[in-house]
Structure 1
């Protein structure tokens, strides 16, 4: 018997656990593949975009150059946010440095939300999948022992088979959790690297426009 046999032949609890683990695995792998593609593009794009901006003669020219590199739209929102609007409102209250700090902070938070998307799911799957698998194992062992006891005579041969089959749930839980945990840690390092680059760019951009104004 394998994992898929447990789904068809096990009890209701075993089937629900198997379906939940399958859903966790599919969702985590979708996020893993998507974030791998996103972050590989983002790392290079952010570095090229920032370099192109500072090699420009003006902010307008820099924004046009960045648009050619920033495929994931991570740097452009920071530049666009510096176009202060809302004359006569609290949005333009205070000096220019305060205004730029506020709009750049808001734009940076929106960009980082995009980069962090999926991290919570990976963390949740990585931390809960082993316990979900363990629940399936415990229930499977209980169900197996109950079935054996109803037969009458209990031997090692009759116990070892069903118990071993139930342990497949534990292995399935670990198989779901391990890729999610590894991906969470690897992606976290890349996200932190991009975040540091964007925060530095936002700080330098604010200083540039404050002294320019």
Structure 2
């Protein structure tokens, strides 16, 4: 029976080591994800609001990131509304409602992407101390069994086995603390990014509303000295006058 208790304690320690590896792997992955996303969002927003018109802003296809994807789905929705007849439920909405619906769906997709891994961090943070305590309980049982077998309760006999049994609790707490801190940090980052995406979506709707929820190329600018193409039946000019056919 003593060997069984020893194996349980060992399995508990290995489980805590696995929890720790998973925790730090997720921390590194999420940290890189948020760093890249912050840089991508800042770069796109700066370029987007520097665009001369809505048509130029719609051509920013080389940018990546959450904000860029929200803008892309907004522009694509408006293009599809122009190209598709409103003869089904998908296109039965008016342009503003259709745009807001697709923007909201894309923001939810971005939220779900950022939420990946947070449930694992929360679970490890909540359960690791109890897993360590589980190992400690069986470690103490093993220690008491050894004390009984030695028929001595002196401090020299008791302190060693009990101290070894408490190691599992300490390791459990050491695994849980980074998990909880990382979960709270990334959850806060998720809320901030979601708020930024909501603000951008609101500004985007207001911007395209001024254009009638349509994306059109601006007319080419006629430079000084450039001959404007003739319209209608106008033909070539002769002695500074138009000659009509």
Instruction: Say whether 1:205 aligns with 2:204.
Output: yes
In structure 1, the residue matched to 2:98 is 99
How far apart are the structure 2 equivalents of 1:128 and 1:152? 36
What CA deviation, in whole Å up to 9, does each residue of 1:35-55 have, x standing for no partner?
111112212321221121121
In structure 2, the residue matched to 1:192 is 191
Alpha carbons of structure 1 residues 11 and 59: separation in structure 2 relative to 1, 3 Å: farther
Alpha carbons of structure 1 residues 63 and 22: separation in structure 2 relative to 1, 3 Å: farther
Query: Structure 1, unaligned stretches of length 5 or more?
Result: 1-7
Describe the SS at the equivalent of 1:175: helix
* Cα drift, residue 176 of structure 1: 0.5
RMSD: 2.1
* Cα drift, residue 25 of structure 1: 0.6
In structure 2, the residue matched to 1:52 is 47
Query: Structure 2, unaligned stretches of length 5 or more?
Result: 213-245
Question: TM-score if structure 1 supplies the norm length?
Answer: 0.86
In structure 1, the residue matched to 2:120 is 121
Alpha carbons of structure 1 residues 66 and 48: separation in structure 2 relative to 1, 3 Å: farther
> Which deviates further from its counterpart, 130-139 or 48-57?
48-57
In structure 1, the residue matched to 2:73 is 81
> Which deviates further from its counterpart, 131-140 or 59-68?
59-68
What CA deviation, in whole Å up to 9, does each residue of 1:92-113 have, x standing for no partner?
2221111011111111111111
> What is the count of residue pairs matched by the alignment?
203
Contact 2:124 2:179 in 1 (8 A): yes
Contact 2:70 2:107 in 1 (8 A): yes
In structure 1, the residue matched to 2:161 is 162
In structure 1, the residue matched to 2:110 is 111
What CA deviation, in whole Å up to 9, does each residue of 1:71-111 have, x standing for no partner?
xx312321222212464332222211110111111111111
Contact 2:23 2:179 in 1 (8 A): yes
Instruction: Say whether 1:42 aligns with 2:37.
Output: yes
In structure 2, the residue matched to 1:3 is none
* Cα drift, residue 188 of structure 1: 2.1
In structure 2, the residue matched to 1:142 is 141
How far apart are the structure 1 equivalents of 2:18 and 2:54? 47
Instruction: Say whether 1:17 aligns with 2:12.
Output: yes
* Higher-Rg member (1/2): 2
